[in-house]
Chains A and B, each alone.
Chain A
């Protein structure tokens, strides 16, 4: 089962290393981790996707809370959040394939952000499942590079972590 966990941390040196060390040490399986600053420059938000049962999710939350530099931890309810991920996919193609790829990108509501004689770079910001679908569709062509940011999420409505 996938859990989305939102963590507010002090924005200072060594915090990420402490947190990633914790995951390795306790054997937690992290699918993705995205980190960036918040509206307060002294606070960063880490969004985690954790694979495991409820015991694992509870342990991750508790161990994170125990860290001195962790200000808040909240396990988000999958139904009540807006989730996004950004991907860049570079595809190698022949001139004949270009039109087909552009069609796929249009349907997926992505964007072509770079083009050369032999490659196209596609950008898409969407739910992680849509990103997976785009990559799957493009895998019929020659994908040469993929960069994903990992999922970020916020609660819907007025709720806050």
Chain B
């Protein structure tokens, strides 16, 4: 006989879990007690939300579910933003929360919160465990659901008495969920229709989203577009699916995207969407899509197809599998004119990398930063102007670009970078945020110091909530309100207080030296960059 808590630990080990990001409390204490005696490493965060974001950064790099764990009540509710962020960006997480004793459920006792209810819109699935005998099956199912099909967060809420319950333990058999059988292979008839559409298209275009990473299909995408010589644009979530300098890559589309990418969407006669929701920020349909554009939509989630864009040829399945299937059917492209004209346009793009009167040029800076980093570095962008500067100017080669694309959660970059660095300690990982978002996550500097996580942090400081300020300027007659960040601390001094070295620069002349200093430092390093408050995002 073992306890429910021991059963959880054994099941997690059996799933290959080697790390958990979490924060303890009374109702999760039995599990912590057993976890401390296991092979699983625990990272103590400084706020539960960041436990979720760190698990997210970990999952995106490790390509398997990240695990986070908190106590009941506020511990669980603090996790919700991270669950919602992961849900919107289809990141596989398994979140474990403690719960009050099952015989007290529903009586509003101390630190009781209906977390399965509250998190329901933001989880792919959730469990409230009533009997420890169900734990092996539930944990196995949770990892299966989180990581297959369209990935997403799964929540397991476990009352404290269930963690203490003594059971005869055995591992669960194969997962069998009759209502959950994701489609992997594309329908042969639809593949044929796609081929026909490609054969007759004069101006085809690929729009790639975050789904390509879930399918681990970057190599197939590259082979696909190169074989057929079709230009590619990406959504925010699709950045780093292709190297920025690839001649066929035309950049990010959408509200904050490149004109060349948006124009290509309008001009194309065949748009092949791969693993993207095509939300309002990406495509303002029908304004941005040409009237005669035929749309092929490849997605593993059938509910995404036809939701935001009416689709001519839907193909449900795994992006990687489907790209292989289409290539095997050998479509033929006739005209190269369109691709060549886009390539020529891309070469003529003028970059706004000139010097500034005050502060650094953030666009030139992020470009220089990403070019100075090893080619396979992981770049974590936060939310705000910094996200747009990064998305448009960071030079991706073989690494990854991580950001909160769907939810736009401020305070994502540093915890995501922590998770990414722990997932792949050999990679250089940089988090780029603003002074607003920094202050939503600066408590994680303690997590970094405690666990020796060697990430690089860049804070763009303009003393404003820059993106909101831009909205106020544009749409609210310049009525600048509630965006002034006066009272903020000295960020380099804050880093120093956590034992983290850092430096501040306020012009581009120092950029090269400061970046070199940051990258030569073996451990964590924070670089604060002064940016003029009137610097625009585009």
Residues of chain A touching chain B, judged by Cβ–Cβ distance below 8 Å, are 9-10, 13-14, 17-18, 21, 25, 55, 58-59, 62-63, 65-71
A10 and chain B: residue at smallest CB distance: B179
Of the candidates B117, B177, B179, B302, the one whose C-beta lies within 8 Å of that of A62 is B302
Q: Residue B125 at the A interface, CB < 8 A?
A: yes
CA distance A58 to B302 in the complex (A): 11
B90-119 vs A, Cβ < 8 Å mask (1 yes, 0 no): 000000000000000000000000001100
Determine how close the nearest CB of chain A comes to the CB of B493; give it in whole angstroms.
Answer: 45
Given A17-B120, A18-B120, A25-B121: A65 in contact with B302 (beta carbons within 8 A): yes
Instruction: Compute how far the CA of A59 lies from the CA of B128 in the bound complex, rounded to whole angstroms.
Output: 28
Q: Which one of A14, A63, A66 lies within 8 Å of B128 (CB-CB)?
A: A14
Add 17 more A-B contacts to A25-B121, A68-B179, A71-B179 (CB < 8 A): A9-B179, A10-B178, A14-B128, A17-B120, A18-B120, A21-B121, A55-B306, A62-B303, A63-B303, A65-B302, A66-B302, A66-B303, A67-B179, A68-B125, A68-B145, A68-B177, A71-B178
Interface residue? B444 (CB, 8 A): no
Tell me if B's interface is mostly helix, strand, loop or mixed: mixed
Q: How many of chain B's residues have a CB under 8 angstroms from any CB in A?
A: 18
Whole-angstrom distance between the alpha carbons of A65 and B180 in the complex? 9
| Min CB gap B80→A, angstroms | 15
- Contact between B306 and A58, CB atoms less than 8 A apart: yes
| A70 with B120, Cβ < 8 A, contacts A58-B306, A63-B303 known | no
Q: Which residue from chain A places its CB closest to the CB of B305 in the assembled complex?
A: A62
Nearest residue (CB) in A for B154 is A68
Question: Which residues on the A side are within 8 Å of B179 (C-beta)?
Answer: 9-10, 67-71
Q: Which 5 residue pairs spanning A and B have beta carbons closest together?
A: A62-B303, A71-B179, A68-B125, A68-B180, A66-B303
Q: Given that A14-B128, A65-B302 are contacting pairs, would A59 and B307 also be in contact in the complex, using a CB cutoff of 8 Å?
A: yes
Enumerate chain A residues within 8 angstroms of B303, measured Cβ to Cβ: 59, 62-63, 65-66
Cα distance, A66 to B181, chains bound together (Å): 10
Whole-angstrom distance between the alpha carbons of A51 and B385 in the complex? 42
| Count of A-B contacts judged by CB separation below 8 Å | 38
Helix, strand, loop or mixed for chain A's interface?
helix
Could you say which residues of chain A place their CB within 8 Å of the CB of B126?
A: 14
B117→A17 contact, CB < 8 A: yes
Given A58-B306, A65-B302, A71-B178: A14 and B125 interface contact (C-beta under 8 Å): no
Closest chain A CB from B416 CB (angstroms): 26
Whether B120 and A66, one on each chain, are in contact in the complex, defined by CB atoms closer than 8 angstroms, is no
Q: Which residues of A contact B121 (CB under 8 A)?
A: 21, 25
In the complex, B301 has a CB within 8 A of chain A: yes
Task: Tell me which residues across on chain B come within 8 A of A25, comparing CB atoms.
Answer: 121
Assembly CA distance A43 to B306 (angstroms): 30
B60 at the interface (CB under 8 A from A): no
Closest residue of chain A to B150 (Cβ to Cβ) is A66
A14, A25, A68: residue with the most chain B Cβ atoms closer than 10 Å: A68
A156 to chain B, nearest CB (A): 26
A63-B303, A65-B303, A68-B125 known; A14 and B116 CB under 8 Å? yes
Q: Is B124 in the interface zone, CB < 8 Å from A? A: yes
Q: How far is the CA of A104 from the CA of B105 in the complex (A)?
A: 50
List, in ascending order, chain B residues with CB within 8 A of A21's CB.
120-121
- Report A-chain residues with C-beta under 8 Å of the C-beta of B120: 17-18, 21
The smallest beta-carbon distance between A39 and chain B, in angstroms, is: 16
Q: What are 23 contact pairs spanning A and B, CB under 8 A? A: A10-B178, A14-B116, A17-B117, A18-B120, A21-B120, A21-B121, A25-B121, A55-B306, A58-B306, A59-B303, A62-B303, A63-B303, A65-B302, A65-B303, A66-B301, A66-B302, A66-B303, A67-B179, A68-B125, A68-B145, A68-B179, A68-B180, A71-B178
